[in-house]
Amino acid sequence: MARFTDKIVVVTGAAQGIGRRVAERVADEGGKLALIDRSDLADEVAAGIRAKGGEAIFIAADLEQWDGAQKAMTEAVEAYGRIDILINNVGGTIWTKPFEHYAPEEIQAEVQRSLFPTLWCCRAALPTMLERESGVIVNVSSIATRSLNRVPYAAAKGGVNAITASLAWEVAERGVRVVASAPGGTEAPARAIPRHPGEQDAQEQAWYQQIIDQTVQSSLMKRYGTLDEQAGAILFLASDDASYITGLTLPVGGGDLG
């Protein structure tokens, strides 16, 4: 397939995991990529794509802040002239524990990590899409909006779902589609950059095991998904194959609807 031939595709959080796999598969289908991350590991991903004959640049930015998101989208447009597709992939649980054990600053950090990058990037990319009356935004949410030991993360991803539905309504008649994928548990290589700022003690490990058990139990298929199963859904939503779909959050959790 070559669904993204000559499309300008921005992927945030492209250093590892789902974001990296999405970027690699977009390149395989002819897309020209801007990979945004605050880690230089995304520069290695871009270099790997170029080594295979693809086109990709790396833009370093902290997307938890408006200035970082605005800078990143501006640089992408300066490099390629436009943004056809924005895939908002930044986010992820930092801590996993019952809500009463979260400190206020941890709650704020979870929301800052998993809501604001999507909110800011949508706002930063939207004007150039509306000016051209063309564009697709794919937000990466989570089925963990209904799960154990992740209330602040669930709140953030619930916000991503709300952004998707409300923004889609605003811009559908102006040529822009807004959709979301909600991944379930996903098998991936060990993270090069851990989300958790320190070592987990025995209690924290037990709480984390609870979310693993719940994720498998909630899936009708009783397993985690693969990176390609998650990337495939995201790429479908981003492609013209989904041209009559907007405002939708698609659960990709083996039957777990979140």
Residue 2 lies in a domain: no
Tens digits of residue pLDDT in 9-29: 999 999 999 999 999 999 999
Q: How far apart are CA 93 and CA 212, in angstroms?
A: 13
Residue 99 lies in a domain: yes
Catalytic residue among 153, 208, 224, 244: 153
Residue 73 lies in a domain: yes
Tens digits of residue pLDDT in 149-170: 999 999 999 999 999 999 999 9
Residue 212 lies in a domain: yes
Q: What token pair was written down for 160?
A: 């991503």
Residue 257 lies in a domain: no
For 64, the domain range is: 8-252
Residue 258 lies in a domain: no
Residue 81 lies in a domain: yes
Q: Tell me how many domains the chain contains.
A: 1
Look up the pTM and report it.
0.96
Residue 3 lies in a domain: no
Active site residue 80: no
The CATH number linked to 98 is 3.40.50.720
